[in-house]
Amino acid sequence: MTLAFVQDMSLCMECQGCRVACQTQNGLPAEQTFVRLRFHDSGTYPRAQHHVARITCQHCLKPTCVSHCPTGATYVGESGLVHFNADKCIGCGWCEKRCPFEVPKVVQGKALRCTGCESLTEYGKEPACVSTCISGALAFGPREEMLQRAEARVAALKVRHPNAQVYSPKSVGGTGLIWVLRDKPEVYGLPLNPRVRPTLSLHDMVQPGTQVSAAGGVLLAGLGWIIARRMQLSETKGGEE
């Protein structure tokens, strides 16, 4: 069963309880966080508007951070959420470079990114940020139920906010972090159609070379075994060969 979050920015109180809970759950120091709040103000008095965006892993259903991770440090769990094993991370920065939402950051030789609370979510529990949210801005459960919840909330918001919408871009296969927005995505600094840069990367060029190198190594090892075997047979037969 694929699980997902609902992140309703119309209900967020900006208390940052989710950030503190995340830091505590993951043993992070005060200066490091997997959750950042981004603020956007628009208009002028008396029609000024304030918007907050909670920036963290989007748990893309087609996560490029996973497909480009050379060590398997970033991977998808049975829940469909993106998880992260810092012990396997070599700080190469590919998740940082390839994330369409520019979320992961490499700090002190390791990627600083949401782990998806694997120790909780893979065993039927809520992520730390969700269980801590006091305003009901965060919810967690089966993805289809979360989508229905988000759509129902948007229908209610449209009475006063005609631009209200669900944000879960199809260009990344949809997201496991489903947004409820009072306004257009760009107001929150979110990309309308997030995509990875369509340029050939060093990573893409190195991988085929690595595969060829590996195949060459296997071939050389095989030739070495044949030569050693012939020498062994020659010695057994008294040097006839």
**pLDDT digits 0-9 by tens, 51-104:** 999 999 999 999 999 999 999 999 999 999 999 999 999 999 999 999 999 999
Q: Are 195 and 100 in contact (CB under 8 A)?
A: yes
Q: Are residues 213 and 171 in the same domain?
A: no
Q: Are residues 167 and 226 in the same domain?
A: no
Q: Are 181 and 53 in contact (CB under 8 A)?
A: no
- CA atoms 140, 145, 151, 154: torsion sign: negative
Q: Are residues 182 and 240 in the same domain?
A: no
Q: Are residues 109 and 223 in the same domain?
A: no
**Cβ-count burial 45-56 (b if 16+ within 10 Å, e if not):** eeeeeebbbbbb
On whether residue 84 sits in a domain, the answer given is: yes
Which pLDDT belongs to residue 134? Answer: 96
Which pLDDT belongs to residue 220? Answer: 45
Is the whole model's pTM more than 0.95, yes or no?
no
Q: Are residues 39 and 120 in the same domain?
A: yes
Q: Are residues 78 and 139 in the same domain?
A: yes
Domain count, the chain: 2
Lowest mean per-residue pLDDT among 12-26, 87-101, 134-148, 207-221: 207-221
Q: Are residues 35 and 84 in the same domain?
A: yes
Q: Are residues 94 and 177 in the same domain?
A: yes
Q: Are 34 and 28 in contact (CB under 8 A)?
A: yes
Q: Are residues 16 and 42 in the same domain?
A: yes
Half-sphere exposure of 83 (CA within 13 A, CB side): 18
Q: Are 129 and 21 in contact (CB under 8 A)?
A: yes
Domain range enclosing 27: 3-188
Q: DSSP assignment, residue 6?
A: E
Q: Are residues 228 and 143 in the same domain?
A: no
